[in-house]
Amino acid sequence: MTKLMFCGDCGDVVSPGLRDMNPRYCECGRHAVWWRDGSKGLISVHDIKFPERNGGDGGKAWVIGLHNHILQMGGLMANTSLRAYTPNEDPDMPYTGNHRTRKAWVEQALADTPDSYLFKQVNSMVVRFAPGATSDSKWEAVVPRPLNNPPIQ
Ligand SMILES: [Zn+2]
C-alpha cells in the first residue's frame, strides 16, 4: 500500500516522502506526516492543534491508501472499455488479442488481495481512514526533527 495524508482543513494531500522519520507538512501547517518505517508501511500523523490526539476518528486528517496495483498498472485506468496494459507495454500499440480489460484487471487485483487488507474488505483500490484506525498508522504527539539530507539522486 502506498499512503498519503489528507488534511481536512486545507485540502492538501501530502506524501510522507521517501525517507523515514522525515516529516512533511500540509499547506496550512496543521498536520505533519512521516514514515516511522516506510519499508513496513508504518505511517504517523501529527496534529498541531491537538498533539495529544491518539487514535480513531475525530481528527481533521486522514490517511489515503492506494493499492500498489494502481501504481503498477500501465495506461489509463479510467477507461474500462479498453484492455489493460502491462507496465512494459506500449499503450499506443493496437489491440493484439487475449488481454484482460482494465476493469477485469482491477477485479483480479482485488481478488488476489489478502482478505485481511482493507482494500479487500471494502472492495476498493483506494481507502481512507483515520490515523490509528489501522495497526500501521497512528497519531503522534511529537514531530521528529526533519532530516537535512540532500535530495535522493
Ligand atoms: Zn492542512
CA neighbours closer than 13 Å in the CB half-sphere of residue 64: 14
102 Cα–ligand 1 center, Å: 34
Q: Say how many Å lie between the CA of residue 74 and the centre of ligand 1.
A: 32
Q: In the predicted model, what is the mean pLDDT of residues 123-139?
A: 94
Measured in angstroms, how far is the CA atom of residue 2 from the centroid of ligand 1?
20
Per-residue pLDDT band at 77 (split at 50, 70, 90):
low
Res. 90: pLDDT tops 90: no
User: Which has more pLDDT, 102 or 65?
Assistant: 65
Grid look-up 489528507 returns 6
Q: What is the pLDDT of residue 138?
A: 94
Q: How far is the CA of 15 from the centre of ligand 1 (A)?
A: 13
Q: Are 23 and 31 in contact (CB under 8 A)?
A: no
Query: What distance in Å separates the CA atoms of residue 150 and residue 69, rounded to the nearest whole number?
Result: 30
Quote the ligand 1 centre to 68 CA distance (angstroms). 25
Each residue of 94-110: pLDDT tens digit?
Answer: 444 445 566 777 888 89
Distance of alpha carbon 100 from alpha carbon 114, whole angstroms: 21
Provide the pLDDT for residue 100: 58
Residue 54 Cα to ligand 1 middle (Å): 18
Task: Report the separation in Å between the CA atom of 60 and the middle of ligand 1, taken as the mean of its atom positions.
Answer: 9
pLDDT for 10-57, tens place per residue?
999 999 999 999 999 999 999 999 999 999 999 999 999 998 887 666
Question: Cell 497512528 sits at which residue?
Answer: 138
Cα–Cα separations (whole angstroms), residue 114 to 79, 110, 120, 136, 137 = 26, 8, 7, 16, 19
